[in-house]
Every structure is written in C-alpha cells, then in structure tokens.
Chains A and B, each alone.
Chain A
C-alpha cells in the first residue's frame, strides 16, 4: 500500500524558515517524480514544486521561487521542502504527492499524503 506521511508543519513567524518532510512507503520511491501541492484554508489547490526521480530536474511555482528548495533522499525514501523567508500567504496545508508516471515530472498526482499544516503569523 502506497503511503506518504508528511511532517514538520508548524506555526512560524514571517521571515522564519521551516522544513517539511515526507516519508514514502509501499512503492519504489526512487523511480517516481514527486511534488508538493498546497491548499490555503478554505481555498483551492496550488502546485508548489516538483523534483524528478533522480533530482536532475526541479521546478517551482513563481510564488515560491528563490525561497523554497525541494530535495529528496532516495536511500531514506524521503522528500523535503526547505522553506525560507516565509510569508503569511504561505499559510496552507502542504501535500506530498507522487507523480503517476514512472520517472515522470508532469503533475498527475495519483497518491497524496494527509498534509502538513504550515501557519505563518506574527
């Protein structure tokens, strides 16, 4: 059974950093592209970042480019999102998502974690 478990969400002040983690199980993690997708409270879905199976390709939404860094450790079946200079508008539930395509990076999200809540407020 595919499982994605996020952690690291917290209440932080604007300008502070935070790191989210996602541990994957039930599939060959190193063979799949992964993504972060967020959802602000009561709002819709917003793609945040993508990393290819071998970390050779990374991509970011303009809203987070230069502040967020996606990374992965295939030996630990883990995905990360390093978030710097957080803003109030980054407040959201952050989902770790598997790409449906084998070694794909175009967002077709076939498995989602339960999400990790990041609240940015002074």
Chain B
C-alpha cells in the first residue's frame, strides 16, 4: 500500500498570508504513460463532506479560487494557499490514485492566526 504522509498536522496562518501543506507518498505516483501524477487534494470544512480542489497534482477543479495551487512530482507534493481567507479554514487531505488501495494523508488542519 502507498502511505501518504502530510506535514504539518496543523498550521495557523494570518489572513492574507501564505499557507503551505506538504504531502509525501511512500512510492512514486507518477504515471509514466502520461507523465501525470495521480494525486488529489481535498478540502473539508466542519460538518461538510470533502470537496475536490485539485487533481493530477496541479489541475484545479472548476470554480476553485486561483489562490489554491498544487505542485510537486513523484513522491513530494505541496498545496499552497497564496493568500489565506477566512473561508479557507478547513482540513486538507491529499490522496493518491496511482494504485489501489486508494489512500489518503492524515489531514492538515488550517486555522487563522
């Protein structure tokens, strides 16, 4: 199984500042057939189901603000919120879809400082 490890477990960022969340996979999730990384990022606000933010490690879903960006390749990935807004308070999860079982990181809680 591919183990996904996120860091930090939580972070507090001032409004308007940058938030950076890291995700590391225990093996590469790069699909050599298309040179794409099989990695997604989800946002889960309290009391709500998760929401898909990014897939292919860098592709934002329609309607997701451009302050959210994904980067990385192979085993190391980052979700960046360029200018934190109050509505971004949530838990963020990375997840690999390279091979079954599909596995999630443990989550990173983002709060306002």
Residues of A within 8 A of B (CB): 44-47, 50, 59, 61-62, 95, 100, 106-110, 112-115
A60 to chain B, nearest CB (A): 8
How big is chain B's contact interface, by range?
20 to 34
B52 to chain A, nearest CB (A): 5
Q: Please, which residues of chain B bring their CB within 8 A of the CB of A46?
A: 104
A20 to chain B, nearest CB (A): 15
Given known A-B contacts A44-B93, A45-B93, A109 and B52 have beta carbons under 8 A apart: yes
Docked-complex contact B50 and A110, CB < 8 angstroms: no
Docked-complex contact A44 and B49, CB < 8 angstroms: no
Docked-complex contact A108 and B104, CB < 8 angstroms: no
How many angstroms between the C-alpha atoms of A46 and B105 in the bound complex?
A: 9
Contact string against A for B residues 48-68, beta-carbon threshold 8 Å, 1 for contact and 0 otherwise: 011110010000010000000
Docked-complex contact A110 and B61, CB < 8 angstroms: yes
Q: Which residue of A lies closest to B31 (CB)?
A: A106
Q: Which residue of A lies closest to B52 (CB)?
A: A110
Q: Please, which residues of chain A bring their CB within 8 A of the CB of B50?
A: 45, 95, 109, 112
Pick the contact of B55 from A47, A59, A100, A113 — CB < 8 Å?
A: A100
How many angstroms between the C-alpha atoms of A95 and B44 in the bound complex?
A: 13
Q: Please, which residues of chain B bring their CB within 8 A of the CB of A112?
A: 49-51
How many angstroms between the C-alpha atoms of A109 and B43 in the bound complex?
A: 12
